[in-house]
Structure 1
Amino acid sequence: MRFPLNLLAATAAVVTFATASFAGDQYVDPTGFAVSGYDVVAYFDLEQSPVGTSQPAAVPGDKDITAEYNGAVFAFSSEANRDRFVANPAAYAPQYDGHCAYGVAQGGKVPANPNLWRIVDGKLYLNITKNVVGFWEEDISGNLSKSENNWVSIESAAASDRAIPQFSSSAPVN
């Protein structure tokens, strides 16, 4: 059966807009940037520390090197990183719209600290406090399973409006 081209285009548009309307908001703190202005592409170039140890510090972005995605402005440390992001933003943006991965596992949206991160299976996850990182890392795969199940029902809820506890962003630079 052949479908008229305009019917296929209309169906694609409806699916696109319907999907966008169900997406949740990216967490943006008082800096006005996603991930507090840190460069999300740079995480993938840092050497990841073993579970149970602190990760290297996140790389601050530059307020003049930005791109928009998921209703938020992301800052980057270089134009090359911005270009990598623009080519495939879903590959670099943090999971759960930048909210704490353990918070999502527990059924809610809370902010995440950009210096408390881990890449698992090529995806960036953030957490809120060092104590929470410990809970999350006790069972990463189990917590990710819970997060994925919970995210379906909370994704469309508004982004957290809470501040990240005991965190002061040094990003974006310049």
Structure 2
Amino acid sequence: MKNLFLILFVLVSTFGNAQNVGVNHANLSNGIAVQGYDVVSYFKENKAVKGKKEFSVKHNGAIYYFKSKENKDAFIKKPSAYEPQYGGWCAFAMGDYGEKVEINPETFKIVDGKLYLFYNAYFTNTLKSWNKNEPTLKAKADSNWKKITS
């Protein structure tokens, strides 16, 4: 019985911590993910589309907006398929120097079925830099993100 209690305690603690890590490290604006852009549209339309408050859902402490009920339902069915990498922070910055940097939600790339967002302002488009060395930057970004969230 003690072992069962210990296992349940560890599972509950781990699950709770995983959710808190997401909220604590996500790029949110007033609790809203990806500045209100519809994360499903990146995949379905290959473009950035603003979502609507009426089609919103809260997931792991973040509020996601969608342009339609269909997109909202697709997200609810499998959120991990649509959530942006690195908590919605700039993928290039995460790979290049391991920092959380704001993004322009209209500058994105889908790689291996995952959404990557990038900073693009003041004559700096980090997607261009990412494309020059994507495999190395992606591996470094993955490693840096693990360090930040552990």
Q: Same fold (TM over 0.5)?
A: yes
Contact kept, 8 Å, 2:91 with 2:117, in 1: the verdict is: yes
Give the secondary-structure state (helix, strand or coil) at the position aligned to 1:135.
Answer: helix
Q: Identity of paired residues, percent?
A: 37
Give the secondary-structure state (helix, strand or coil) at the position aligned to 1:36.
Answer: helix
Identify unmatched segments of 5+ residues in structure 1.
48-55, 157-174
Q: Kindly state the Cα deviation for residue 70 of structure 1 after the two structures are TM-superposed.
A: 2.9
Q: Which has the higher helix share?
A: 2
What TM-score does the superposition give when structure 2 sets the normalisation length? 0.85
Identify unmatched segments of 5+ residues in structure 2.
none
Aligned residue in 2 for 1:161? none
Give me the CA root mean square deviation: 2.1
Aligned residue in 1 for 2:108? 117
Contact kept, 8 Å, 1:85 with 1:92, in 2: the verdict is: yes
What TM-score does the superposition give when structure 1 sets the normalisation length? 0.74
Q: 1:63 to 1:20 in 2, by over 3 A?
A: closer
Identify the match of residue 84 of structure 2 among 81, 85, 94.
94
Q: 1:44 to 1:144 in 2, by over 3 A?
A: same
Give the secondary-structure state (helix, strand or coil) at the position aligned to 1:116.
Answer: strand
Give the secondary-structure state (helix, strand or coil) at the position aligned to 1:111.
Answer: coil
Contact kept, 8 Å, 2:94 with 2:100, in 1: the verdict is: yes
- C-alpha distance in 2 between matches for 1:21 and 1:131: 31
How many residues in Structure 1 have an aligned counterpart in Structure 2? 145
Give the secondary-structure state (helix, strand or coil) at the position aligned to 1:18.
Answer: helix
- C-alpha distance in 1 between matches for 2:140 and 2:45: 27
